[in-house]
Structure 1
Amino acid sequence: YFMTKTTERLARWVSSLRYESLPSEVIGKAKLCLADSISCMVGGADLVPSKTLLKVLCRSGQGSVAVPGVSARLGLLDAAYYGAQTANALDFDDDLIGHPGATVVPIALAVGQVAGANGADLVTAIVAGYEVSMRIGESCMPTYERSQNVKGYSTWQTFGSVVSAAKLLSLSDVLIENAMGLAGAQAPVPNVRKFMDRGACGWLKNAYGIAGEIGVLSAHLAAESYAGNRNIFDGPNGFWIMSGSDQFRPQLAVNGLGAIWKIDDVNFKEYACCYYLQSALDAIDLLKNRQGTSDVERIEIRAFLELPLHFCGPLPNSIVEAQFHAPYLVALQWLGRSPAQGLREEDLTDPTVLALARKVALRHDPAMDRSFRECDLYPVRVIATDKFGASSEAFVERPRAAEQSSQTQELVERKFFSIVSPKLGEKATTHAWNMIHEIEKHSVDELVRILVP
């Protein structure tokens, strides 16, 4: 059970992966992941936490690595840290067992510049990073009961960072084993439960910055023959228990490598907030279409346990807290200030928004728990009651964006232009979008250069 050679098998697969062996649909999805993460980085750079972080990182001195959305150039490790943080800053980034893009795409862009990588190299590194990140996440995922106390994403997303960096450095399988061992030994603790404790969310959020930096550092150390533990995932003391989990399912890490592509299942968000809350905002849209936006006296959300347990409390004081506050987000959606357009600082103190948020109540519906825990669904029933006592309800089981897979490219394109254009201009944004979809003809440096304001 434990002596599975998981580390060795993953390292061999990463080392042997070639662009030419990737299915066309996987390449297409990787390009959408690239575009989506870039838009999140550009938009995330404008938030107060990101500006504060950049100010501190710049004290280390000027570097040569560009990061989408800012004019400053940073050292390689700082660029990886900053890019991973900005990618997740809006909470608009992709989703599947965490936010895989935040610890893959910024790292690939940073290392790719230094390594002189071309577009095909970039796509291959992104695919490798996504696959390993999500497979390790699945295999080390704690039981539901354990996850109520111990939960983290950056802990194992560190391996997405190290693998994408290692691939761009063309490391051998043995050196990739070393790199993963070094990354696992330095990976951040699982912080999600404390990060969201009592509704006061720290600005580091999932701590993706340090996960990104550790991945880049570990790959470069391995490239210089710096030794790491070469079986980091294996044995009764493997990474699964290091990360606080209570189970290890190694088959999920290696089964179907090169045949079943986890990147295919990645979801893109329609709203700038936690994925758990997307269904509720879709339900509000349905109610508005039926009922209009007449005076509402009460909005009740019946949902699986996690929503009333972790996504309410005192009204938010920051954009970060707002991303995880269901009543506040529902109020914005009802008032036509949809999180699909991002979140605005001025709404945090708007009396109209706050008054409506206070009328939103979350209720636990035990009948919905099984769908959430076992079926990867996010069921909610939203009931809106007006001042005359008339009510209307809507039930949504899965976010609209996940259901409408045929419109995925349209969603990513709309997000890309709505976020990037105001900062870089329509011409540069169109150029960047076209370049991403023909990235094989370009270098990483060419792409990043046009994403700098």
Structure 2
Amino acid sequence: MTLAERVADFTANLKPSSIPPDLVEKAKVTVLHDLGVGLAGHRLAATAYAYAKEEGGCGAGAGARGARLLVDGTPVTAEAFALATGALVHARTQDDTQVAVSTHLGATTLPALLALADRAGLHGADLLTALVAGYEAASVIAEGGADVSTARGFRASSVYGPFAAAAGSARLLGLTAGRTVSALGLAAAFGGGTNQTWVAGTQEWRYQVGAASRNGMVAALLAARGVTGAPDALDGAAGHLRAFTGTVPAPADLRLGEDWRLRRVTYKPYPVCAINQIPVTLLTGLARRHGIGADDVVAAVVELPSDDAAYPGVDAHGPFRDVGGTLMSLPYCLAVALREGGIELDDLYGWDDPALMDLVRRVRVVPADVPRGACRITVQTREDGTRVAEHAPDPSTFDWDRHETADRLRAMAAETPLTADRLERFVEVVLDLDRRPVRELVDATITEPKE
């Protein structure tokens, strides 16, 4: 069997009863986190929403034919919904991350599934099963090449995200394994995108995930209508893996249904790049313990694994012109963390602050022989000499339960468009999604529910 056939055989036949209870809970917590940070970043998705309404609006009385945009409830086409909702979920770049393959799976899977489920009146249990299918499919496929394709300049979320949306959408639509193979083959033809956005400080990053979600969903919808995709689109001689990595890995034991990749998905405490989460957390803790302020720091050196240190934009010192540059720059993020004791969304707009940028220039990122995801920070202070802190992640790092996830969302309540009562209603619905229709979830995000 080809890689696509092996993946499709698993996802098409995935049943809710075969998903371990802790995975169902993880899926619900992931939806809560991703939609929660999306609501908290809704103002940054205004352009995507305007595009969806102007280019994909369904018109008055056409709600049954469209998916309703979160927050305002406007019915738009499923394609427009996926693009705009991907931009919403990813607006703060605080959505979940599958760190091992550098891919944002929530922002590429969830928009497609919400679009199809709201439009068709499907149940939350169906969405959660499809979500698991999408996460497992894309994770397995990306394990074969994400590191190499990223090193070649491709953005993993754009390259592998369409597989998550395609596999999840195919499962939600009830496609056979054969048609799911075609959906994956079509998704392979629809994926692509580079990391130059981080270097240039431009805004492609916010829309790449929505485009990946839309393209994967369209791949499944076409497959449902009988359009065929190559069964060896992934591992063929001219297939996806060879095109993006230059080679085709030997067939592996995928252990689908045994090694659940969703368990490895992590969340973000700060609205910055996943690579920067542990360094920011580590430095803020070091500064608090030793009373280190921004003015005390002569220099700081951050040691990262070589792949992380080389990720585009991570070692940038500016000049910056957009939050796409500052959220990716570890020197910038650490400078803010030293000065503010953490990072809020509005802190990412300080590139014209001379004192802050002077502090940014005192931070240096270097590659080192440390475990994946780990870091070591050495701070030289004016009075107390050198302070060192290091941390390597374990399975519990940034893997929150429902209570912590909900509490973190409540801490961002002022940034969401929901009243306190409606925010609690939203949390309640998401955490009970396996027993509710998806329309209740969309209803819970709308500030003024439409009849």
Q: Secondary structure at the match of 2:417?
A: helix
The one of 316, 323, 326 equivalent to 2:330 is: 326
Q: Which residue of 2 aligns with 1:237?
A: 238
- Return closer, same or farther for 1:68/1:19 CA change in 2, 3 Å cut-off: same
For 2:327 and 2:320, locate their aligned partners in 1 and report how far apart those are by CA, in whole Å: 9
Cα deviation per residue 1:313-339 (whole Å; 9 max; x = unaligned)?
Answer: 314322222111122211221122522
Contact 2:282–2:389 under 8 Å retained in 1: yes
Normalising by the residue count of structure 1, what TM-score does the alignment of the two structures yield?
Answer: 0.87
2:279 aligned with 1:280, yes or no?
A: yes
Q: Which residue of 2 aligns with 1:356?
A: 359
For 1:169 and 1:301, locate their aligned partners in 2 and report how far apart those are by CA, in whole Å: 50
Give the partner amino acid of 2:247.
Q
CA deviation after TM superposition for structure 1 residue 403, in Å: 3.0
The one of 391, 399, 410 equivalent to 2:385 is: 391
Q: Which residue of 1 aligns with 2:13?
A: 16
For 2:423 and 2:429, locate their aligned partners in 1 and report how far apart those are by CA, in whole Å: 10
Q: Percent same amino acid among aligned pairs?
A: 20
For 1:331 and 1:448, locate their aligned partners in 2 and report how far apart those are by CA, in whole Å: 38
Give the partner amino acid of 1:393.
R
Give the partner amino acid of 2:233.
I
For 1:205 and 1:301, locate their aligned partners in 2 and report how far apart those are by CA, in whole Å: 29
Contact 1:109–1:444 under 8 Å retained in 2: yes
Q: Which residue of 2 aligns with 1:140?
A: 145
Q: Which residue of 2 aligns with 1:224?
A: 225
The one of 416, 419, 429 equivalent to 2:412 is: 419
Cα deviation per residue 1:348-387 (whole Å; 9 max; x = unaligned)?
Answer: 44454334334x220425xx24x3xxx423312231413x
- Return closer, same or farther for 1:347/1:425 CA change in 2, 3 Å cut-off: farther
The one of 301, 311, 317 equivalent to 1:313 is: 317
Contact 1:125–1:167 under 8 Å retained in 2: yes
Q: Which residue of 2 aligns with 1:65?
A: 67
CA deviation after TM superposition for structure 1 residue 411, in Å: 3.9
- Return closer, same or farther for 1:336/1:402 CA change in 2, 3 Å cut-off: farther
Q: Secondary structure at the match of 1:324?
A: coil
Of the structure 1 ranges 283-292 and 214-223, higher mean CA displacement relative to structure 2 is found in 283-292
Give the partner amino acid of 1:41.
G
Q: Which residue of 2 aligns with 1:173?
A: 177
For 1:117 and 1:420, locate their aligned partners in 2 and report how far apart those are by CA, in whole Å: 29
Cα deviation per residue 1:235-279 (whole Å; 9 max; x = unaligned)?
Answer: 22222023x213333645x62111110001111111111111122
- Return closer, same or farther for 1:127/1:314 CA change in 2, 3 Å cut-off: same
Which 5+ residue runs of structure 2 have no aligned equivalent?
59-65
The one of 183, 188, 192 equivalent to 2:187 is: 183
Give the partner amino acid of 1:298.
V
Cα deviation per residue 1:9-44 (whole Å; 9 max; x = unaligned)?
Answer: 211111111111110111111111111110122123
CA deviation after TM superposition for structure 1 residue 120, in Å: 0.7
For 1:178 and 1:228, locate their aligned partners in 2 and report how far apart those are by CA, in whole Å: 4
- Return closer, same or farther for 1:117/1:377 CA change in 2, 3 Å cut-off: same
Contact 2:336–2:342 under 8 Å retained in 1: yes
Give the partner amino acid of 1:320.
G
The one of 425, 429, 433 equivalent to 1:435 is: 429
Contact 2:154–2:192 under 8 Å retained in 1: no
Of the structure 1 ranges 300-309 and 315-324, higher mean CA displacement relative to structure 2 is found in 300-309
- Return closer, same or farther for 1:250/1:343 CA change in 2, 3 Å cut-off: farther
Q: Secondary structure at the match of 1:272?
A: coil
Q: Which residue of 1 aligns with 2:49?
A: 54
Q: CA RMSD in A?
A: 2.4
For 2:250 and 2:411, locate their aligned partners in 1 and report how far apart those are by CA, in whole Å: 41
Q: Secondary structure at the match of 1:51?
A: helix
Q: Secondary structure at the match of 1:382?
A: strand
Q: Which residue of 1 aligns with 2:268?
A: 269
- Return closer, same or farther for 1:136/1:442 CA change in 2, 3 Å cut-off: same
Of the structure 1 ranges 254-263 and 21-30, higher mean CA displacement relative to structure 2 is found in 254-263
Q: Which residue of 2 aligns with 1:299?
A: 299
- Return closer, same or farther for 1:420/1:82 CA change in 2, 3 Å cut-off: farther
Q: Which residue of 2 aligns with 1:377?
A: 373
For 1:245 and 1:342, locate their aligned partners in 2 and report how far apart those are by CA, in whole Å: 35
Contact 1:300–1:382 under 8 Å retained in 2: yes
User: How many aligned residue pairs are there?
Assistant: 430
Contact 1:39–1:420 under 8 Å retained in 2: no
- Return closer, same or farther for 1:135/1:401 CA change in 2, 3 Å cut-off: closer
Which 5+ residue runs of structure 1 have no aligned equivalent?
none
CA deviation after TM superposition for structure 1 residue 409, in Å: 3.5
Contact 2:272–2:327 under 8 Å retained in 1: yes
For 1:149 and 1:440, locate their aligned partners in 2 and report how far apart those are by CA, in whole Å: 40
Cα deviation per residue 1:184-208 (whole Å; 9 max; x = unaligned)?
Answer: 112124x02x2223x5343435711
- Return closer, same or farther for 1:30/1:54 CA change in 2, 3 Å cut-off: same
- Return closer, same or farther for 1:439/1:147 CA change in 2, 3 Å cut-off: closer
For 1:286 and 1:74, locate their aligned partners in 2 and report how far apart those are by CA, in whole Å: 45
For 1:69 and 1:348, locate their aligned partners in 2 and report how far apart those are by CA, in whole Å: 30
Q: Which residue of 2 aligns with 1:164?
A: 168
Give the partner amino acid of 1:6.
L
CA deviation after TM superposition for structure 1 residue 94, in Å: 1.0
Normalising by the residue count of structure 2, what TM-score does the alignment of the two structures yield?
Answer: 0.88
Of the structure 1 ranges 392-401 and 212-221, higher mean CA displacement relative to structure 2 is found in 392-401
For 1:344 and 1:75, locate their aligned partners in 2 and report how far apart those are by CA, in whole Å: 35
- Return closer, same or farther for 1:132/1:404 CA change in 2, 3 Å cut-off: closer
Give the partner amino acid of 1:109.
L
Q: Secondary structure at the match of 1:204?
A: helix
Q: Which residue of 1 aligns with 2:208?
A: 207
Of the structure 1 ranges 50-59 and 61-70, higher mean CA displacement relative to structure 2 is found in 61-70
For 2:12 and 2:275, locate their aligned partners in 1 and report how far apart those are by CA, in whole Å: 35
2:129 aligned with 1:124, yes or no?
A: yes
Q: Which residue of 2 aligns with 1:195?
A: 197
- Return closer, same or farther for 1:344/1:127 CA change in 2, 3 Å cut-off: same
- Return closer, same or farther for 1:171/1:118 CA change in 2, 3 Å cut-off: same
